[in-house]
Amino acid sequence: MRWFCGYVLQRTLHLRGMCLPAAGSFPRNCQPVPGRYIRASQAMGWFKHWFGTRYYALLYGHRDVADARSWTDAILARWSLPHGARLLDLACGRGRHARFFAEAGLEVVGVDISEASIAEARMAAPQARFVVHDMRQVLEPEAFDAACCLFTSLGYFEDFEDDRAVFRAAFAALRPGGRFVVDFMNSALVIRDLVPEERLRKEGVDFTLRRSCRDQVLVKCISVRDGDDEHHFEERVQALAPDQLEEMARAAGFVIEDRTDGPEPLPFDPEMSQRFVLWMRKPFT
């Protein structure tokens, strides 16, 4: 989720009625715009049309292998899951993480709301199981030893309560003692280093990315020119703060074990970390 820093965003979300971290007002480049409000009915559902396109895969596909391996290696090293342990990959996308988890000997179940992504995941990691599923709903109660939700895959919903439902569903799906990890952007850093415009060319296709912050919502407008054809897409993400994610985790029943910066085992630094990674455990009792 590194697009607003001049990097690349794989996953985005939109939430209603959320605020940036405390400690003062909004950054200058993220002030609410008087008289301009984004209705949830207009904002929601964009991911269903965007994630399944070939342009999405073309724009973000370069991270699939290089980035996924570092994440799965870090998670496996931290948790020491035994061979055959069951792992639930929430918002699994095209199966880039599930593939490496399965190769390490885990029994992997990946869920995603995109039928196109699930179809590609089944080809990328045939040894794993993939299901078109809404991650707000419990897939199988107390059936998994671990779960992950990586690369800012939370929150493609209309209401803040839906994000809480994801945490509750993950908690219910885990056996007692099961682990859960959530990876999110460091919102404050993203806003501070916002890059308003970027142009890319990939395999003969031109992309123009325009980034802005509107009414507490980070927005990326994507223009695609493919020969004589032109397409337009939009991504949205609410700048959730670490304490907001921690509150959701605790409300669901999780015990927080650690907070790190990306897959590296470095402590989270609000001023420097690009990612906020929350490591949790479901209590035994």
Q: Is the pLDDT at 39 greater than 90, yes or no?
A: no
Whether residue 151 is found in the same domain as residue 103: yes
Residue 4 inside a domain? The answer is no
More confident residue, 2 or 210: 210
Q: What tokens does 277 get?
A: 């990674």
73 and 179 in one domain? yes
- Say if residue 181 is in the same domain as residue 191: no
Q: Is 250 in the same domain as 149?
A: yes
One domain for residues 108 and 201: no
Do residues 136 and 269 share a domain?
Answer: yes
The share of the chain scoring above pLDDT 90, in percent, equals 59
* Number of residues in the chain: 285
- Domain annotation covers residue 181: yes
Assess if residue 165 is contained within a domain.
Answer: yes
Domain assignment of residue 48, yes or no? yes
Phi, psi (degrees; rounded to nearest 5) at 113: -80, -15
Give me the mean pLDDT over the 177-199 stretch: 93
More confident residue, 155 or 259: 259
Same domain? 52 vs 126: no
Shared domain check, 71 and 172: yes
Residue 26 pLDDT > 50:
no
Q: Is residue 5 part of a domain?
A: no
Domain extent, residue 135, equals: 64-186+240-281
H or E stretch covering 79? helix 64-79
pLDDT of the residue at 158:
63
Confidence label for 183 from pLDDT (cuts 50, 70 and 90): very high
Q: How far is CA 101 from the centre of its chain?
A: 18
> Cα separation of 136 and 161, whole Å?
10
Higher pLDDT, 112 or 32: 112
What's the token pair of residue 10?
């794989």
Quick one: pLDDT at residue 62? Answer: 60
Angle at 178 between CA 172 and CA 180, to 5 degrees: 80
For 71-86, the pLDDT digits (tens) are 999 999 999 999 999 9
Q: Answer yes or no: is 170 within a domain.
A: yes
DSSP string for 204-262: TEEEEEEEEEETTEEEEEEEEEETTEEEEEEEEEE---HHHHHHHHHHHTPEEEEEEST
Residue 24 clears pLDDT 70, i.e. is over it:
no
Q: Provide the pLDDT for residue 63.
A: 62
Query: For the residues 144-154, what does the mean pLDDT come to?
Result: 92
Which residue(s) pair with 201 in the sheet? 206
pLDDT of residue 5: 35
Inter-axis angle of helices 64-79 and 96-103, nearest 10: 50
Residue 118: pLDDT above 80? yes
- Asked if residue 81 belongs to a domain, the reply is yes
Number of domains in the chain: 2
Q: What is the mean pLDDT of residues 232-242?
A: 85
Mean pLDDT to the nearest integer, 13-31 = 35
pLDDT of residue 47: 62
pLDDT at 285: 85
Same domain, 44 and 88: no
Of 22-26, 64-68, 110-114, 122-126, the range with the lowest mean pLDDT is: 22-26
pLDDT at 110: 98
Question: Which of 207, 223, 238 finishes a domain?
Answer: 238
pLDDT of amino acid 207: 96
- CATH number at 91 reads 3.40.50.150
Residues 175 and 265 in one domain: yes
Residues 116 and 178 in one domain: yes
% of the chain surpassing 70 pLDDT? 79
Confidence band, pLDDT 50/70/90 cuts, at residue 61? low
Band of residue 56 on the pLDDT scale cut at 50, 70, 90: confident
Q: Do 180 and 116 fall into the same domain?
A: yes
Asked if the structure places residue 2 within a domain, the reply is: no
